[in-house]
Structure 1
Amino acid sequence: MAEPFPFSAIVGQDEMKLAILATAIDPRIGGVLVFGDRGTGKSTAVRALAALLPPIRVVVACRYNCDPAEPFAECPDCAASRTSSARSPRSALVPVPVVDLPLGATEDRVVGALDLERALAQGVKAFEPGLLARANRGYLYIDEVNLLEDHLVDLLIDVAASGENVVEREGLSVRHPARFVLVGSGNPEEGELRPQLLDRFGLSVEVKTPQDLDVRVEVVRRRDAFESDPAGFVAQWAKEDARTRRRIVAGRNRLASVEVPDSTRALAARLCTVLGTDGLRGDLTLMRAARALAALEGDAEVGAAHLRRMAAPALRHRLRRNPLDDAGSTVRVERAVADLLGA
């Protein structure tokens, strides 16, 4: 298996990296949408995530990555095993799954289907899990998400909302956990994302081609060094990635104790009101993202500084078009943040 590019070695793209780290601290934020130019490191950052995240504990041989500490969220296989045996299931540590959903994937491949081999050889109706099962407790990555077929968009919306995949076909009726962080990337020039799916992403980041000469040179230098000696380059950045991993673990442990004062909640609500975001999902996502940032940085309380840094990713994709204001959504958010929270 090819070595992924080290997360810590990615030059610039600070907003994208921060958004990914926030979802690693609190997956309830709801995923990350990365829109921007081709060749700006969108997929590189997502693939670097797998090597960065702390491993998870799963039931040995479970096809759904079930957590042995959470029997209430287990799959049909683990439920049957628990019923037939009084012993606790064996567990093991495995890397966090980061699963690619190809644009040409069929619905059967995504949700799962009848295991034809067993059906023909043994006459048994058995379920063959799909990509959603493999992504449980991990990340589901969709490159060119704005080109995804409509029926798969509808399917993902349902599963992302419920955290459960329901398959009823060919005489099968299967339910299994499918809790994953959805990460999508794309180029806005190739088409817009359907509003229903856009709303399911907690954070949206914009990635642009760097214009600073020194940054461009450094990007090319590091990429060239990685391609010349992948193992050596990864080893060179291993210490920095390990430091980031420790920050994630500490942030997760700290998250529940981070306080959110009512004054901060009021600031977030005022910001969303001024921007005219639909519903309350923007308020909730902004607060979760700001709390995750505070936990990541070791702060005991969420303040205006955390809201300021997470406002654009949490809100830019939730704004209605304003015919009287031709400024982009990022500019509108930054303007509102400056007015309410200061520069």
Structure 2
Amino acid sequence: MAMTRPTMHEPLNFPLAAVVAADELKLALCLAAIDPAIGGVLIEGPRGMAKSTLARAVAELLDGGQLVTLPLGATEERIVGTLDLDAALGEGRTRFAPGLLARAHGGVLYVDEVNLLADHLVDLLLDVAASGVNHVERDGISHRHAARFVLIGTMNPEEGELRPQLLDRFGLAVSLGGAPLPAERAEIMRRRLAFDSDPPAFRTAWQAAQDELLARCRQARERLDAIPLDDAALEAIAARCYAAGIDGLRGDLVWLRAARAHAAWRGATAIEAQDIDAVESFVLRHRRNGEAPPEDNGARDTGGSAAQDGDAGEGQWGELPAQPVAIGERRAVPRWAKKP
């Protein structure tokens, strides 16, 4: 399958196949392109880590998909759509004017600095991304339309955080932390300079690798539905989410879908342990709350002993052990709290 070539009026994107390092993020983006129902990807990292470059490259992984960028100052009307005033005033009839969500259908909706967007707008975007449907009830109109897209948000944690309730709504999260090694930094600069100097020539040089990546994503999408969401994978994931103290069930469902997408990415016909392991950090990174599940009177194995998970002198999940107090000694017994 030949790579999609932008028209002469569209800027050329840096091909995903040519991105140096960032292998975990590239994998997460490919999985989201294979199964948009995963719920999108949140990319965290400091300035200058090519978050925007990576996000823009994902649209090419989708069949006929386009990239729609959400401006930081966009209003709710511009996002969801509203009444077509020209039709209302000029023709005297009610007609829906599509917004950015309608334009993003089948492609990528990219939100840079999503942590600076108003919470109610982030919530709205995540609702539509999860359901695949935009339902508008406003200005005397009632309208529904399909809005299936890959949602990609980027943020610099130094400029503010997202509320935990919103973090959980993103399917996968990847952090671009740490500076690249000197050799990687040099190669990044070489490729960037070559692209800036002659974008068409650079893309031609990387066309074979990009076409291979596109074909792999397309083939994975084609085999995705044939891979069962089997009980064995479901139970393994549920146990690990429980052991990690994950609130709610969204993490379980995302993990199961992401593991299936990874199996399709490998060309497999069933979810295996390696698929579950491969996506664990993407699913749990932004969902861990640091608290242990309630203790069971039975002998339940939650994935390791206290000695394995931490210092043998401390309880699992960092809870401090009870302190002995001598009989007759009159002093208050401290109440040890779990770590937040």
What TM-score does the superposition give when structure 2 sets the normalisation length?
A: 0.79
- Residue 135 of structure 1 corresponds to 104
1:267 and 1:170 mapped to 2: Cα distance? 48
1:282-297 counterparts in 2 under 5 A?
282-297=251-266
**Which residue of the partner structure matches residue 10 of structure 1?**
19
Which residue matches 1:99?
A: 68
Q: Which residue number in structure 2 is paired with residue 22 of structure 1?
A: 31
Q: Distance in 2 between matches of 1:196 and 1:22?
A: 23
Q: CA deviation at 1:127?
A: 1.5
The alignment yields a C-alpha RMSD, in angstroms, of: 2.2
Counterparts of 1:263-274 in structure 2, within 5 Å, are: 263-274=232-243
The aligned counterpart of 2:77 is 108
1:64-75 correspondence runs (5 A)? none
Matches within 5 A, 1:143-222: 143-222=112-191
Question: C-alpha displacement at 1:261, in angstroms?
Answer: 5.2
Q: Name the SS of the counterpart of 2:285 in structure 1.
A: helix
Size of the alignment, in residue pairs?
288
1:183 is displaced (CA, Å) by 1.1
Change (3 A) 1:311 1:217: same
**Deviation readout 1:112-157 (Å, 9 max, x if unpaired):** 1122223333333222100011112222111000111123123224
Counterpart-to-counterpart distance in 2, 1:128 and 1:262: 44
Equivalent position amino acid for 2:240 in 1: L
Pick the structure with greater CA Rg.
Answer: 2
What is the CA–CA distance in structure 2 between the aligned matches of 1:233 and 1:314, rounded to whole Å?
A: 34
Equivalent of 1:309 in 268, 278, 287: 278
Partner of 1:251: 220
Runs (5+) with no aligned partner, structure 1? 56-95, 324-334
* 8 A contact 2:52–2:154 mirrored in 1: yes
CA distance in structure 1 between the partners assigned to 2:118 and 2:94 by the alignment: 29
Residues 241 and 304 (structure 1 numbering): CA distance in 2 closer, same or farther, change over 3 Å?
A: same
Quick one: which amino acid aligns to residue 172 of structure 1? I
1:43-62 equivalent positions in 2, closer than 5 A: 43-55=52-64
The SS at the match of 1:201 is coil
More helix by share: 1
Distance 2:119 2:155 in 1: 16
State the AA in 1 paired with 2:27: L
Contact 2:241–2:251, Cα closer than 8 Å, also in 1:
yes
Q: Quick one: distance in 2 between partners of 1:271 and 1:28?
A: 21
Residue equivalent to 1:236: 205
Partner of 1:117: 86
Q: Deviations over 1:246-304 (max 9, x none)?
A: 11111112212335554433332221111111122212211211111111111222222
Distance in structure 2 (CA, Å) of the matches to 1:192 and 1:235:
39
**Higher RCO structure, 1 or 2 (CA under 8 Å, sep 6+):** 1
- Higher mean C-alpha displacement, 184-193 vs 258-267: 258-267
Q: Which residue of 2 aligns with 1:39?
A: 48
Aligned to 1:279: 248
Q: Residues 49 and 211 (structure 1 numbering): CA distance in 2 closer, same or farther, change over 3 Å?
A: closer
Shift of residue 193, structure 1, vs aligned partner: 0.7
In the TM superposition, residue 161 of structure 1 has moved relative to its aligned partner by: 4.0
After superposition, what is the alpha-carbon deviation per residue over 1:13-68, rounded to whole angstroms, capped at 9, x for unaligned?
A: 1111101100111111111110111111111011112233332xxxxxxxxxxxxx
Once the two structures are TM-superposed, the CA of residue 321 in structure 1 deviates from its matched residue by 4.0
The alignment's TM-score, normalised by the length of structure 1, stands at 0.78
The 1-side partners of 2:168 and 2:22 are apart by: 23
**Structure 1 residue aligned with 2:327:** none
**Counterpart Cα distance in 2 of 1:208 and 1:2:** 28
Give the distance between the partners of 1:21 and 1:11, measured in 2 at CA: 16
Identical residues among aligned pairs (%): 52
Aligned AA for 2:271? V
SS of the residue corresponding to residue 313 of structure 1 reads helix
Distance 1:154 1:167 in 2: 15
Judge conservation of contact 1:109–1:130 (CA < 8 Å) in 2: yes
What is the CA–CA distance in structure 2 between the aligned matches of 1:16 and 1:257, rounded to whole Å?
Answer: 26
Aligned to 1:227: 196
**Which runs of structure 2 are paired with 1:328-339 in the superposition (5 Å)?**
none
Amino acid in structure 2 at the alignment position of 1:4: N
